[in-house]
Amino acid sequence: MPTRAAVALITTAIAVVLLFSFKTPAQARPRTPAADLAQATPTTTASPTPSDSSGTTPTPTPTPSNAGPTYKDGQYTGRDVVNQFGDTQVKVTISGGRITDVQPLQLPFDRQRSAEISQYAAPLLHDEVLQAQSAQIDSLSGATYTSDAYAQSVQAALDQAHA
Amino acid sequence: MLETVARRIRVEHIMGTAISIDLRDPGVDGQVVEATFDWLRQVDARFSPYKPDSEISRLGRGELTVEGCHVEVGEVLSLCEDLRRETGGVFNAWSCRPDGRLDPSGVVKGWAVERAAGIMMLGGARNFCLNAGGDVVIRGEAEPGRAWRIGIRHPNDATALAAVVHGYDLAVATSGAYERGNHIVDARTGIPSRALLSLSVAGPSLTMADAYATAGFAMGRAGVAWVASRPGYAPFAVTDSGRAQYSDAFAELLVSDDKN
């Protein structure tokens, strides 16, 4: 679908642009909970998070034996960028001098099309088969019931049990 | 377990649902509960779009200006406008009804119950639980040394729990279509959302937890991540494929079965 392809291309373009505008985590603007979630995610590599707070852009170090640029290992948080979809921020993991992962941290929801892009935030969430719980409770949260439905509800039983 | 705390529970039917106040401070005068219910009844009379003589109905018909309404009406409408912007128009009190009439109901209950908890505190209550049709505010402790435990209803089974959270000062709101049908629509399209069976939101204020649960539910699957990105608020969703999706912040509130 042309529109979808265009969106994918634009997203890729944003990611590429961000690769050249790294900020270290220490300099990143106040973190959103989403950013905290992403940074709290354990990484499989033992690479340290760069603590250098002086440079705004880690310069790619050219290696004589290799034509391509290599990067310092670690996790980098991209600058918060406002684009036509809203606010966007990504985290890039570099391992062995290569980009091994790009994850969105902050995602937009202020434009119609952004809903599609926001699907990329799914990796930030726990996702598991729902399992019924049996813990004792004091109160129950659920979709709003009518006055009539209350009489048959668990909340009514809880209220009566202790009244 | 033997109950060691005196519990006074009152239930009143207001805003089309049942509101329970569970007060666990033995020394606090029960009058504060009456005052809180009185105020909730006033809010219902003022804000209900189902009562033809409410200020909201008269405002919607052009018989009143916002300036001519009680100051709380302006406060709620301002909250609606903030939320319309924050959700990119998914929540819109001015265009969520088929007849186009003003309907701020999506925020009024959460806002009112959060305010009601404030009235309870002013009256000296410190340990209590307010439950308004499934939207919950807790303050203090359930009993000395024990946090409150709030169950989240399983969307497909009224007697089963999908999750249990615990805390001391917390609000939990849940949106879903299983009680009153597909009444939550994306205001931009008018189409009800079916991707989630329920979306619960925990956080410091019921005003925002309730608003985020409603708006996030209307957004469908993208709404779970959207709520997770609201500072201080944590989502727990049950998807139409029977999976639980929740944020790290929500995981911290969970009571797991093996801890009991």
pLDDT in tens, A144-162: 888 888 888 888 888 887 6
Most B CBs within 10 A among A32, A124, A138, hence the mutation to make, goes to A138
Pick the more confident residue, A88 or B211: B211
A15: confidence class by pLDDT, cuts 50, 70, 90 = very low
Cross-chain Cβ contact B231/A33 below 8 Å = yes
> With an 8 Å Cβ cutoff, is B214 touching chain A?
no
Nearest beta carbon to residue B257 from set A110, A115, A134: A134
For the cut 80, the answer to whether the pLDDT of residue A110 exceeds it is: no
Position with higher pLDDT, B90 vs A103 = B90
- Give yes or no for B180 touching A (CB within 8 A): yes
Contacts of B224 in chain A (CB under 8 A): 125
Interchain CB distance below 8 Å, B180 and A115: no
> Which residues of chain B fall short of a pLDDT of 70?
1-5, 96, 257-260
pLDDT at position A81:
58
- CB–CB of A136 and B260 under 8 A? yes
Q: Is the pLDDT of residue A17 over 50?
A: no
| Nearest-by-CA chain B residue for A153 | B158
* pLDDT for position A140: 95
What pLDDT shows up at residue A49? 43
- pLDDT tens digits for range A26-73: 333 333 344 333 343 343 333 444 444 444 444 444 444 444 456 678
User: Could you give the CA distance from residue B88 to residue B188 in angstroms, rounded to a whole number?
Assistant: 9
Percent of chain A with pLDDT over 90: 7
pTM of the predicted structure, to 2 decimals? 0.70
Q: How many CA atoms lie within 13 A of B224 on its CB side?
A: 28
Q: Give this complex's ipTM.
A: 0.91
Tell me the HSE value of B139 on the side-chain side, using a 13 A CA sphere.
24
Enumerate the residues of chain A whose CB falls inside 8 A of the CB of residue B11: 150, 156, 159
| Closest approach of A57 to chain B, Cα-based (Å) | 27
**What is the chain A residue with the closest CA to B242?**
A130
Is the minimum CB–CB distance between B154 and chain A shorter than 8 Å?
yes
The per-residue pLDDT for B207 is: 96
Q: Looking at beta carbons, which residues of chain B come within 8 Å of A129?
A: 242-244
- The whole-angstrom distance between B160's CA and the closest CA on chain A is 6
